[in-house]
Structure 1
Amino acid sequence: MPARIFIWVGHPRAASLSHGMADAYQRGAEANGAETRRMNLSDMVFDPDLTEGYHARKTLEPSLEAWREDLLWANHVCWAYPQWWGGMPAKMKGVIDRSFLPGFAMKYHEKDPFWDRLLAGRRGDVLMTSDAPVWFDRLSNGRAAKLQVQKPVMKFVGIRPARILQVGPVKTAKEATLAKWLKRAERRGADAARRSR
C-alpha cells in the first residue's frame, strides 16, 4: 500500500522558502510512490483563537475540518514552516489550538493524569527554516522550536518519530546553499514514502 502523506505549509505568506521545501519534499515522496495531500496555511480562513479553551467549543470552519480530514487520511505528515520567536507562527499555532481538541487528538483519562494519543500510528517530519544558524539556536535557545513541535505537539497526540530538518540562516543563504537544502528536503520526502508503505 502506498504511503499517504499530508503536507502542510505553516507559513502565513503565500510564497516562501517553506513552500519551496514542501515542494521538494512532495516531489521526493511522489517520485517514490506516495499519495499526497497538501494544504497551505495562507489559504486557510478561520479564527485562530481558542477563546474559551476547552470549556466552550467553537464550530470548526471548513478549512479546519478539511485539515483534520487530511490528517486522519494520512499515515505520515510533514509540516514546513519558519521558526519565529522560538516557535511556530501564531496563525499556524491557531490551527493546532482549534483542531487538536480532546476527542480528536487526545482523550484525557478521568481517574489518572494520563491520556490516550488518538493520532497514534502516524509518523511526522518537520521542515523548519530560521534566520539563525542551527548551532546558534542550539546554544542560545536549546532548540526550543524543535522541542515545541516534537514533544508537546506531535508526540503528545501520537505522531512520531517527529524528524526535524532545520536549516538556516536563510537571510544570508546563497543559491548553492538553498539548492542543497531543497535537495535534503526532497530526500526526506523520498525516505518518508519508503518508510510509510
Structure 2
Amino acid sequence: MRHILTATVMNEPGVLAHVANMFSARGFNIDSLVVGRTEDPNFSRMTIVVTADERTLDQVRKQLAKIVTVVKVRDYKETPYVSRDLMLIKLSAASNSRSEIIELAALFRGRVVDVGMSSLMVELSGEEEKLDAFVELVRPYGIRELARTGVIAMSRGAATNAATDEEVRTDQRPTAVRAAARQPLSGKRQPTQQELEATPPG
C-alpha cells in the first residue's frame, strides 16, 4: 500500500543524503521524494511516497525520527489532505493533431507552454491518477520527453474538509471581491448594490 509521509528537516547541506542513505541502508523503496523550503527559511519539507505494509511503514517513521536533522515526521494515513504532482510532457504534434492535443490538455486543465515546429509541451498539475490518465491518452501521439516533480501534500484545514480541490466558487468569495469581479474592465467604476441602497433619495 502506498503512503505519504512528510518530514520537516533543518535546511542544511547533506540532509537529503542522510535521509536517502537511511532508506537505502534498510532496503526501503521510495516511490517519490520532493524537497522544498517551507514558510520558515530555516527548515525544508520533504514529501516522501513509499509503498509498504504497516510494519515497514512504522519502521520508516521511527528511522526518520532518529535522524538528528529531522525535526518532525507526519503520516497522512488518517488525515484529510490535498496532494499534487506537476508534469511537463513534450509530445510529437503534426499539423493535423495539434488541435486534438490542445483540446485534451484543456480538458485536463493543463496548458501549452511551448510550441515547436513538430512538438507541443504541456504543463499539467493535479493528483497522480489524473496525470497518469493524461499520459495514457496522449501516448499514441508520441511522447518525446516527460518530467514529473513527484507528490507534495498538505493537510486540509478543519473548516475545508468538504471543499473540492478546485478553486473556491465565486459565490463563496467575500462580498467586496464579488463586487469587484463584476466591474467592467475599463471605464467608470459602477456602484455596487450596497452602495446604491445606501445612497439617499433625490
**One fold, TM greater than 0.5?**
no
TM-score, length basis structure 2: 0.21
TM-score, length basis structure 1: 0.22
**In proportion to residue count, which structure has more strand?**
2
**In proportion to residue count, which structure has more helix?**
1
Q: Which protein has the larger Cα radius of gyration, Structure 1 or Structure 2?
A: 2
